[in-house]
């Protein structure tokens, strides 16, 4: 099903109720650039053997809601740019996304500009190495809870929340730092962000970097001493900074 409806720019609805997907392994770009698609019922899709969901709904910027609660994602390995530029999407149900084998979430929700909140409480991330640009330009996103994320294999976080204009606080204190190497611009252009906890990112011998312009007039930053020392742009004096020192790491 790779690219099956790719570029069907005039398609506004489609009946997939009789599709048999039991043996399908690839749904890459399946609905990409279906610009006028306003509704999509995939409740009958059996996705137990699907390995690729990259770009699946990319550019479906007329979709306002999408219920994927019936999806089985146990075999899926990549979801990069899955919902990229679904700019009208307000409601998204991913309640059954266990993601036991997913390793790439790059740009997954990028430019989902209308999403105010998203429930990722059951979202599996234990094999993921790349979360760069995962929420880039999610301009309406006000809060997000990632406390269940397992980051033991995570390496890349660059621009993860860049352009999240409405985000006021973010807590990544649970992010296990075994391999994290790339965090450049993780909070770039987040003017409302007043609380940042990235204390678990140790940043041993990784060199200088930028994580944010710290545009808010005041705020709270909880950060490892190593990372704070290597920040090219540091917060204003009006910010309350707490440095965490790791010994023998």
> What are 109-122's pLDDT values in tens digits?
999 999 999 999 98
- How many other C-beta atoms can be found within 10 angstroms of the C-beta atom of residue 160? 24
What angle (nearest 5°) sits at the alpha carbon of residue 7, between those of residues 41 and 10? 70
- Tokens 């998204």 -> residue: 92
Q: What is the pLDDT of residue 140?
A: 98
Bridge partners, residue 198, by sequence: 223
Average pLDDT over residues 73-94: 97
Quick one: pLDDT band at residue 234, thresholds 50, 70, 90?
very high
Cα–Cα distance measured from residue 168 to residue 170, given in angstroms and rounded to the nearest whole number: 7
Which pLDDT score, from 0 to 100, does residue 206 have?
85
Q: Is 154 exposed, middle or buried (0-12, 13-18, 19+ CB in 10 A)?
A: buried
Q: Which residues contact 18 (CB under 8 A, 6 or more apart)?
A: none
Strand stretches in the chain, DSSP E: 65-67, 91-93, 169-171, 195-198, 220-224, 240-244
Residue ranges of domains in the chain: 1-99, 103-249
Task: Calculate Rg over the CA atoms of the chain.
Answer: 19
Q: What is the mean pLDDT of the chain?
A: 95
- What pLDDT is attached to residue 248? 57
Q: What is the mean pLDDT of residues 121-132?
A: 95
Check residue 182 and report its DSSP letter.
B
CA-CA distance, 187 to 233, in Å (whole number)? 12
- pLDDT 10s digits, 11-50: 999 999 999 999 999 999 999 999 999 999 999 999 999 9
State yes or no: pLDDT of 205 exceeds 90. Answer: no
Other beta carbons less than 10 A from residue 228's beta carbon: 19
CA distance 242 to 249: 19
Beta strand pairing call for 240-244 and 65-67: unpaired
């Amino acid at each position: 099903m790779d690219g099956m409806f790719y570029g069907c720019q005039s398609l506004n609805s489609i009946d997939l109720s009789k599709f048999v997907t039991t043996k399908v392994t690839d749904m890459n770009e399946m609905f990409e650039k279906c610009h006028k698609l306003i509704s999509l019922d995939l409740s009958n899709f059996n996705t137990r053997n699907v390995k690729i969901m990259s770009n699946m709904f990319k550019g479906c910027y007329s979709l306002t809601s999408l219920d994927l609660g019936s999806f089985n994602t146990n075999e899926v390995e990549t979801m990069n740019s899955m919902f990229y530029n679904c700019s009208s999407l307000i409601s998204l149900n991913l309640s059954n996304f266990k993601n036991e084998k997913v390793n790439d979430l790059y740009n997954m929700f990028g430019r989902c500009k209308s999403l105010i909140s998203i429930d990722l409480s059951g979202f599996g991330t234990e094999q993921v190495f790349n979360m760069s640009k995962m929420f880039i330009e999610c301009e309406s996103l006000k809060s997000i809870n990632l406390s269940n994320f397992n980051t033991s294999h995570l390496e890349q976080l660059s621009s993860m929340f860049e352009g999240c204009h409405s985000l006021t606080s973010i807590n990544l204190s649970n992010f296990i730092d075994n391999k994290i190497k790339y965090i450049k611009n993780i909070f770039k252009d987040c003017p409302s962000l007043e609380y940042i906890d990235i204390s678990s990112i140790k940043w041993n011998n990784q060199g200088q970097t930028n994580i944010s312009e710290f545009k808010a007039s005041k705020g709270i930053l909880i950060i490892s001493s190593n990372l704070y020392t290597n920040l090219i742009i540091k917060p204003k004096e009006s910010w309350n900074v707490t440095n965490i020192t790791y010994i023998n790491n």
